[in-house]
């Protein structure tokens, strides 16, 4: 089963509130990672985002679940500037997970 989340529908074209992203992740993404084969975060229509939002949305998933999250989470429709933020958040989460496990 695939669960798709259209971020523009949830937050509008500008993603900037990290605390809002954290609450959304905990309530709307974390539960689906456990029960779905794939979770799609669709950034289509999102024109800008900041690192606070993207880190709160993405980094914690990898910090909590580790690299296996790469096989379940799909990022779609990212502008190049958002791709950079997403990659940095993934890397940060994986590093934090490794530190926590070690």
Per-residue pLDDT, 101: 81
> What's 53's domain CATH number?
3.30.750
Tokens of 98: 């490794």
Per-residue pLDDT, 102: 77
In the chain, which ranges are continuous DSSP H helix?
7-11, 18-24, 30-35, 51-54, 60-65, 80-101
Per-residue pLDDT, 100: 86
Per-residue pLDDT, 98: 93
Average pLDDT per 10 consecutive residues for the chain, totaling 102 residues: 97 98 97 95 98 96 91 97 98 94 79
CB 47 within 8 A of CB 13: yes
Q: Mean of the per-residue pLDDT values for the chain?
A: 96
What's this model's pTM, rounded to 2 decimal places? 0.93
d(CA 25, CA 79): 21
Helix, strand, or coil here: 59? helix
Q: Count how many domains the chain has.
A: 1
Can you give the residue range of the structural domain that contains 70? 2-101
């Amino acid at each position: 089963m695939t669960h798709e989340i259209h971020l523009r529908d949830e937050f509008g074209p500008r993603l900037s509130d990290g605390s809002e992203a954290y609450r959304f992740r905990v309530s709307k993404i974390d539960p689906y990672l456990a029960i779905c084969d794939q979770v799609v975060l669709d950034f289509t229509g999102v024109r800008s985002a900041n690192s606070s939002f993207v880190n709160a949305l993405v980094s914690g998933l990898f910090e909590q679940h580790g690299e296996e999250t790469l096989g379940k989470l799909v990022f779609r429709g990212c502008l190049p500037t958002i791709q950079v933020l997403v990659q940095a958040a993934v890397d940060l989460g994986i590093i934090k997970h490794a530190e926590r496990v070690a």
